[in-house]
Amino acid sequence: MNYELTTYNEILLMSLRPWMNNYSDTKFKELHTETKVIDTEYNPFFSLEYKKPLTPKKKYYSQIINNERNSFLNEKIDFISKITDTDERFYIIKKIFKHLNNLFKKTADCIQENGFPYNEVNSTNQDLSNNVYIFHLLKLELVLIYIELQEHFQSDFEDEYLTYEELLEIHFHEFDNQSFINRIENTLETEIKKIKVQDITEKAITQNCFKIIESIKSKTHINDLFTALANLNLLDESSKKDFVHVFSNRPIENKIEWIGMKGDLYSFILFLNQEKKLDDPNYKHWITTSKIFQLKGKIDFSESEIRSCKPTKQNEAKILKIVQNIRL
């Protein structure tokens, strides 16, 4: 497999370096017009909302940078998704991340060595403004590639889950206050379903809830799910009412105390999502998990703590079987 982002390397080190291309605006307009748009063939989790390119040079470079990102992700996500061997899939993902980390360094070095701080993007010097725009777009596109792959294959990603802001801080020593990259709140496969916040009693906790997909219609099936988890000593009978409410998209009065290991809870939520048993159009299952569950002893945890958790091997296969056996 080719791990290269050829166009990005050309921009950083070779013939596409922006300061080497002294074409006229007319020439850049022609190049932009001739460049075929490559669309996404995968379901994106994030969107990039960068400054609109207003000069012919910015428009051309924006197009080829965006095309390279889409082409790379289209190919890699499709290829990796078809690999059934866990070790092979993990090896390929790690190779891609290693290559991306190298590109982060090259991009950071180029920005620093050439004096391209982002605050010069609106410079009256058009050449400087163009170059700053291009390299910071390249930086953001690389980060976007990283977090898209991380999100698509999070079950294979054993290292700490890194956010967009953390990647900028680690590789570029930057703190983004403009939120150029944002999680897409639309469903990735179906139409948007807005979650309405309902008024609940003073005793109830206002929070998101899970909802089992519509084809699992019977409340009995949710009860069976609870019983199977309780039989593994992962849930206590006192949590049954709230558990049923959570998976019926209803508010709960108390957080559910998960008496098993945190890794078991991670596996349960991960498998529910992977096996498409959740109606989770906004892909907020880790946020929701941190809001509705507590660990034994009524200990709270954060979204990042559960998202970056590792499964407990002892119960992983049993939990997967329980999830797969939810009747449709």
Locate tokens 């078991």: which residue?
Answer: 264
Domain ranges of the chain: 6-183, 219-324
Residue-level pLDDT at 212:
53
Is pLDDT above 90 for 259?
yes
Is pLDDT above 70 for 52?
yes
pTM for the model stands at: 0.58
Q: Which of 133-147, 166-180, 284-298 is predicted most confidently?
A: 133-147
109-130 pLDDT, tens digit each: 999 998 888 888 889 999 999 9
Contact indicator for 248, 222 with CB cutoff of 8 Å: yes
Residue-level pLDDT at 100:
93
Residue-level pLDDT at 3:
74
What is the average per-residue pLDDT within 49-71? 94
H-assigned helices in 164-218: 164-172
Is pLDDT above 80 for 148?
yes
- Percent helix, strand and coil across the chain, each rounded to 5? 55, 5, 40
Is pLDDT above 60 for 204?
no
Q: Return the C-alpha torsion angle 75, 81, 82, 84, nearest 10.
A: 140
Residue-level pLDDT at 11:
92
Average pLDDT taken over every residue of the chain: 82
Residue-level pLDDT at 134:
94
Residue-level pLDDT at 25:
93
Residue 54: alpha-carbon gap to chain centroid: 29
Neighbours of 77 (CB within 10 A): 19
Residue-level pLDDT at 214:
45
